[in-house]
Structure 1
Amino acid sequence: MTDMRLPLYQRLRDDMLARIAAGDWAPGTAIPTEAELTKYYGVAVGTLRRAVETLVQDGLMERSQGRGTFIRRPNFDGSLFRFFRHVDSQGERRVPTGRVMVRHEESAGRRVADALGLEEGASVVYLERVRQIDGQTIFHEQIWLDTRRFAPLLTVDPADFGNLLYPFYEQQCGQLIGAAEETLSVATASQAMADRLSIDPGQPVIVIERIAKGYDATPLEFRRSTGDAGPFRYRVDIT
């Protein structure tokens, strides 16, 4: 329910996000014109523009000169590889493919429940996926999703998931991912993880935990990606 104590442009912004999350406005498409929206909401054009500007600044919408304002579809898959460098013999960058190995329903532990905003023990869909280059596993991924939102995935053959999961979530479950937060840490490989990554037990690994959210900020996916620390690189520009 909208908090009526919020400024009008913020309430307008929240309503727009709710419409995107509900699928009324699809990612990649233009939102209605200013004239249409001011008439629909009964607000001044300045209020509307301020609401849209906050969404543009947050990276959820983007303007195209002469074409309008569009719902932005973020490229989350590329974010994982800004810290890792995998190249072939010619020095060309390689992006791993994805393959779902395990898919079942289970009860959420405390960490998963907290990440997804659920009660401990709630039903979640669990996916286990490997990212590979030329058959070699580069990353091992564990993914948890609220069963109430993602139950259709339990009836899909794991071989049919494809390489990109977020468009698949949208297609199969009507769930749109609009933002994410990631936490990076360093650990040592257990025997099981070492076997999966073809490295030695105790070798350093990078762990990236991601909470992916809908356009309305509802947590939709909790993902843990683990990879060999060898190809890990960190760069930051300080000015």
Structure 2
Amino acid sequence: MLPLASDTRLPRYQQLRDHLLAQIANNRWHPGEAIPTEAALATEFDLSVGTVRKAIDALVAEGVLERQQGRGTFIRRPQFQSSLFRFFRFEAVNGERVVPMSRILGMNVVAAPSAVAQALGLAPAADVIHLQRLRLLDAQPVLAEDIWLPRQPFKLLLETDLDSKGPLLYPIYEQVCGQVVAAAEETLTAEAVDQVHGRLLQVPAGSPIVVIERLARDYAGKPLEWRRSRGHAQHFRYRIDIR
């Protein structure tokens, strides 16, 4: 039997849920990997299978785990790239969706601006890594991104050639730093582009652009990344199914 790191006033299934979530966040199991069976977990924690099942059910409902018929229960790997196409239409000539190429313009350690420190839950002016990235479609800039990361968990990125590892950052966070993005919150606004980002996007200052702010978290809810993406209004789209 292992002690459950949780508030002992909570029901046992809730304590187990909290304990399993902490272990997932600490990479005991990796995204896409199966967790032990309910019977094995019941033995490990000296709990009934019914109690274990309630804890697993809670994590499935929260989207942390997913059950696969006949195979077991797995750590769910979120698919964040779909959000790019929810707000922007990036297509090849034949109409096929394409992921814009990525070009890192700069990566520096800076003192966190107040909004960044607040979003990431850091002390004022704490060290953060600031990434500036341009996304291109057919060699034309379509997104300009400012990305901030807590320095300590992501310090290995400072020694990494990000452009050589492809256009998606979250797999790089996982492979290089062991940091897994499990969920994110996005806010969408519109604004007139300033001169700096107008030059990056190759549009006149004052042109309308769409701004998406994203706060990404790990499985335990800890903030990992805050980014602001500015995109051409001509590529913007919004779709929702109402039933």
- TM category (shorter chain) comes to over 0.9
> Who is 2:6 aligned against?
2
**How big is each residue's C-alpha offset from its partner over 1:156-199, in whole Å with a ceiling of 9 and x where there is no partner?**
23433432211111111111111111111111111111111112
How many aligned residue pairs are there?
A: 239
User: 2:86 touches 2:239 (CA, 8 Å); kept in 1?
Assistant: no
Asked if 1:70 is matched to 2:74, the reply is: yes
The amino acid across from 2:35 in the alignment is I
Identity of aligned residues (%): 50
Q: Partner residue of 1:15?
A: 19
Contact 1:99 1:162 in 2 (8 A): no
Aligned to 2:199: 195
1:222 alignment partner in structure 2: 226
Q: Contact 1:101/1:158 (CA < 8 Å) preserved in 2?
A: no
> Counterpart of 2:163 in 1: which secondary structure?
helix
2:185 to 163, 181, 185: 181
Aligned partner (choices 83, 89, 94) of residue 79 of structure 1: 83
- RMSD of aligned C-alpha atoms? 1.4
1:151 aligned residue: 155
Whether the 8 Å contact between 2:100 and 2:167 is mirrored in structure 1 is no
- Paired residue secondary structure (1:230): helix
| Cα distance in 1, alignment partners of residues 143 and 62 from structure 2 | 29
For 1:20 and 1:152, the matched residues in 2 are separated by 22
- Give the secondary structure class of the aligned counterpart of 2:235: coil
**SS at structure 1 position matched to 2:234:** coil
Alignment partners' CA distance in 2, 1:31 and 1:121: 39
Distance of 2:165 and 2:126 partners within structure 1: 24
- CA–CA distance in 1 between the matches of 2:105 and 2:82? 22
Unaligned runs of 5+ in 1: none
Mapped partners of 1:221, 1:189: distance in 2: 23
Mapping 1:33-72, distance limit 5 Å: 33-72=37-76
1:140 matched residue in structure 2 = 144
1:36-84 Cα distance to aligned partner (Å, 9 max, x none):
1011111121221111112112221111110001101101122122111
Q: In 1, distance between residues paired with 2:171 and 2:97?
A: 23
Q: What 5-or-longer segments of structure 2 have no aligned partner?
A: none
Within 1, Cα distance between the matches of 2:158 and 2:232? 30
- Between the aligned partners of 2:58 and 2:226, the Cα distance in structure 1 is 26
Equivalent residue for 1:233?
Answer: 237
How has the CA–CA distance of structure 1 residues 78 and 97 changed in structure 2, closer, same or farther, with 3 Å as cutoff?
farther
Among 203, 206, 216, which residue is 2:210 paired with?
206
Local SS of the residue matching 2:180: coil
Please tell me whether the aligned partners of residues 140 and 196 of structure 1 are also in contact (alpha carbons under 8 angstroms): yes
Separation in 1, partners of 2:147, 2:12: 37
Query: What is the aligned partner in structure 1 of residue 30 from structure 2?
Result: 26
Secondary structure of 1:95's counterpart equals coil
Deviation at 1:94, TM superposition (A): 2.2
